[in-house]
Amino acid sequence: MTYELSETPGAGPGTSASGHPSRRPRRNKVPEVTAYFWIIKVLCTTVGETAADLLNEKAGLGLTGVSVLMSALLAVVLVVQFRTTAYRAGVYWLAVALISVVGTLISDNLTDNMGVPLETTTSVFAVLLAVTFVVWYRRERTLSIHSIDTTGREAYYWLAVLFTFALGTAGGDLVSERMDLGYPLAAVLFALAIAAVAIAHFALGLDAVWSFWIAYVLTRPLGASIGDYLSQPGGDGGLGLGTVVTSGLFLAVILGLVVYLAVTRKDVTDPARVTRRAA
C-alpha cells in the first residue's frame, strides 16, 4: 500500500510550508510506503516485543537497566540518522527496530515498575501523539512523509514514531488483557483492524494522514501478538520457540529485506514524484 499524505501547496524545495527557508534542504529521509515498508515494520514490532523480553530476562540489568542501555543505543543511531543527507535503508530500519524496543520498554516500565494502569498509559500516549501531530502541523503546515527533508520535520517524525510504539504497546496490552483473546486471535483482530483502515482509505476516502498513522499504531500490537505466540511457552498459549529463536529469525528476515532494498532502492522517494504531488 502506498499513501499520499497531505502536502501544502507552494512549499518548494528548501522552503518550509510557512515560507521560511529551511536550514538544511535535503532529500527525503524516510522510505516510500510500500508493501516492503509494512512487512519490515511488522517484523520490527515483533522484534521489539521479543527482544525487550529477551534482554530483560538474559542481560541481568533489570527492566530499568535495559531501558537505559537501549535508549543510549537508540540515541547514537538517531544521531547517525540525522546526520545522513538522504534515506539510507540500513540506518533508518535500525533506528525503527531500536525505537520499537525502547517504546516497548517505556510502556513496560510505567506498567510493571511504577504500577501505572494500562488505561492511563494508553490515554497519555494517545494525547502525546496527538500533541506531536498538532505542533508538527502548526510549525510545518504538512504531515507529509514525502517531505521529511529538514531537521525539524525529521525530529517530529521520530517523536511521533516513538509515541506510536509506546501507544501500540499499551493499547495492545490493554485490549489483550481485557478481552483475554489469546495470541492468535489477538493477531487476527489487529490484522482485521488494519484491513478496515485500508478499506476506509481506499474505498471510503479516509484521510491519508489518519489512515497511515492509525495503521502504523495498529501494527505494533499485531507484531507483538505474533512475537508472543511464537516465543511464549505452550502452556501460555504460544508455540514455545523462545525469545532467542524468535528474535534471531525475525532479525534475519529484516536484514535480508533491508539489504535487498539498499541494493535495489525500490523504496527511495522519487523527487520528481514529490514535486508533482506538491504541484
Residue 70 has pLDDT above 80, yes or no: yes
The mean predicted confidence, pLDDT, of the chain is 84
Q: What is the Cα 158 distance to its own chain's centre? A: 9
The answer to whether the beta carbons of residues 98 and 70 sit under 8 Å apart is yes
Residue 2 has pLDDT above 70, yes or no: no
pLDDT digit string (tens) for 211-222?
A: 999 999 999 889
By percentage, how much of the chain surpasses pLDDT 70? 86
Q: Residue 244: pLDDT band by 50, 70, 90 thresholds?
A: confident
Q: Residue 25: pLDDT band by 50, 70, 90 thresholds?
A: very low
User: In this structure, what is the dihedral angle of CA atoms 102, 106, 111, 114, given to the nearest 10 degrees?
Assistant: 130
Lowest mean pLDDT among 57-66, 99-108, 174-183: 57-66
13-17 long-range Cβ contacts below 8 angstroms, 24+ apart: 13/149, 16/140, 16/141, 16/150, 16/152, 17/140, 17/141, 17/142
